[in-house]
Amino acid sequence: MRRVRMKKVAFIGLGVMGYPMAGHLANAGYNVTVYNRTHEKAIAWQKEHQGNIALTPKEAANNCDVVFICVGNDDDVRAVTLGGNGALASMAKHAVLVDHTTASAELARELSKHCQQQHISFIDAPVSGGQAGAENGVLTIMCGGEQHIFDQVKPIMDAYARFSQLMGDVGSGQLAKMVNQICFTNVVQGLAEGFNFAQKAGLDTDKLIDTISKGAAGSWQMDNRGKTMCAGEFDFGFAVDWVRKDLAIAFAEAEKIGAELPNTKILDQYYKEVQEMGGNRWDTSSLITRFQK
């Protein structure tokens, strides 16, 4: 494996995405310190990877060149960055804070201001690719910030990403992620309707997917979730609870900028029905169950 110059980094948040992302950094030769709210998860990570564990975000970020965050929502990001035990309490001048959380553009701008006051650089960098993308190190990253800071952190993020792009100023990464969530959920909706139709029509869905995936209906969702969707297997990481959180962020932003999202609002209600069926932790392809009631 290609080794890199040792660089001290912290990774805060070891969920289904952060756990493997931090592992890729350690495997690439970086000096990694991890923090997770549930400390047992950090201990488990250390048993698998060479690295250090911290008891607070402040401890994890101390003297690091780059601090990565991947937590749940805006409030979670504030909890691990601000305050006496937050990462910003110990980050050195000219270090870089990179937030991989899918959060609001408003939060990104807020964090950037806090960082500027301490001469720390900031990049908002939400990811796409799901749990499988994180585990396989092939995520897509949408970033907001300054070009020279992006150029500085991109080689590090390459440990778990196949593609990273600077979209514009701070907040642009989060805006791009909102577009990603709008687009992919509408694709899932089309697959759910189509495959439900196919099943009721008595078609062999494996043969169907093998055929229509080669044409205009083909997509990443069809290739990676089509057959499992038809089989009723919904344990692939990105939960319904999380997609509804992401869509709520997009709806709030759409209200601010005057963008209409009529179809997305309908399918958000469909996901609400899936939650009411007990599917909170099912992955997003579980949308098909709404049509099978």
Using CA atoms, how far apart are residues 14 and 97, in angstroms rounded to an integer?
Answer: 17
Using CA atoms, how far apart are residues 68 and 11, in angstroms rounded to an integer?
Answer: 5
Q: In which residue are the tokens 């960098």 written? A: 125
Q: Which one from 177, 200, 265, 272 is the annotated catalytic residue?
A: 177
Decide if 177 is catalytic.
Answer: yes
Buried residues in 176-202 as b, exposed as e (16+ CB within 10 A): bbbebbbebbebbbebbebbbebbeee
Task: Please tell me the total number of residues recorded for the chain in this structure.
Answer: 293
Using CA atoms, how far apart are residues 245 and 196, in angstroms rounded to an integer?
Answer: 26
Query: Quick count: other Cβ atoms within 10 Å of Cβ 282?
Result: 23
Indicate the burial class of 147 (C-beta count within 10 angstroms; 0-12, 13-18, 19 or more).
exposed
Residues 6+ apart with CB under 8 A from 181: 102, 243, 246, 247, 250
Query: Catalytic residue numbers?
Result: 177
